[in-house]
Amino acid sequence: MERYTQASGEAGDDRAAEDLRAVQEVLAGKTERFRDLVTRYQNLVAGIAWRSGCRREDTEDVVSEVFFKVYRNLHQFRPDHAFSTWLYKLTANHVVDRSRRLKKERGRTEMPEQIVDRSPGAADDMESDERQSLVREALADVDDRYREVMHLVYVEGLKVDETARVLGVPEGTVKTRLMRGREALRKILVHRNPEHFR
C-alpha cells in the first residue's frame, strides 16, 4: 500500500489547486472528475482505516463508504484548508463511528481473527504479530484527538509543525496530545496485556 505524505511547497500548492478544480467541476455537474479524487486519495483513506484498527479485509468497504460520504457531502467542502485535510478528518470520523457501531453489534463474542501456527520457529513471528494487533486494538480506544495526532506523526510521518497546520492547532497542542496519547496507549496496553507490555 502506497504511503501518503503531506505535500509541501510548490508541489503541495499545485495539488491543492488541482483538487479544488476537481471539486468545483464535480459540483458543476462534471461527475466523472470525482474519479480523479478517488484515484489520488484511496490509498490515504485505506491507510487511515487500517492503521486505526479496521481489519484488512474490511478496508475496501471502508474506502467505498468514505468516498460515498465524500461525494454526498462535497458541497460542504470549504477551500480554506486542503481537500486532503478535509478528507482525513472525514475518514477518521467515519472509522471511529464505524468502530463504535460494530462494537455494539458484535458485543464481545468474536471468533479469533487468526488460527495459531504451532510450527517450530513461528513463535517469534506470532509474538510480533500479536503485539502489533494489540497495539492497533488499544489505539482504537485512545481519545480521538490523541489518536489523530499520533497517526499523523508516527504513521504518516508528518513533522509536528506540519501536523499543526493540517489540524489547525498550535504546535504546543500537537506536542501535548502526542505525550498524552502515548501515555494513554501505554496504560491501556499494560492494563489489558501485562504479559506483553510492562
Tell me the C-alpha distance between 198 and 109, whole Å. Answer: 27
Summarised one tens digit per residue, pLDDT across range 5-24 is 444 444 556 888 899 999 99
Tell me the C-alpha distance between 110 and 89, whole Å. Answer: 29
- What is the model's pLDDT at position 114? 45
CB count within 10 Å of CB 46 equals 21
Summarised one tens digit per residue, pLDDT across range 118-147 is 445 545 555 667 777 777 778 778 887 888
Least Cα distance to 157 among 3, 41, 8 occurs for 3
- Residue where the block lists cell 499523523: 152
| Cβ density class 70-86: b for 16+ within 10 Å, e for less | beeebeebeeebbbbbb
Please tell me the CATH code under which domain 1-113 is placed.
Answer: 1.10.1740.10
Residue 53 zone, left/alpha/beta (φ > 0; ψ -120 to 50; rest): left
pLDDT of 45 over the 60 cut: yes
Q: Domain 121-198: state its class.
A: mainly alpha
Of residues 53 and 76, more confidently modeled: 76
Give residue limits of the domains in the chain: 1-113, 121-198
Summarised one tens digit per residue, pLDDT across range 148-187 is 888 778 776 778 887 887 777 889 999 999 999 999 988 9
Summarised one tens digit per residue, pLDDT across range 74-109 is 999 988 878 988 898 888 888 878 877 776 666 544
Least Cα distance to 55 among 146, 136, 155, 144 occurs for 136
**What are the distances in angstroms from CA 19 to CA 6, 117, 162, 187?**
14, 46, 19, 40
C-alpha triplet 149, 152, 154: angle, nearest 5°: 95
Tell me the C-alpha distance between 45 and 159, whole Å. Answer: 20
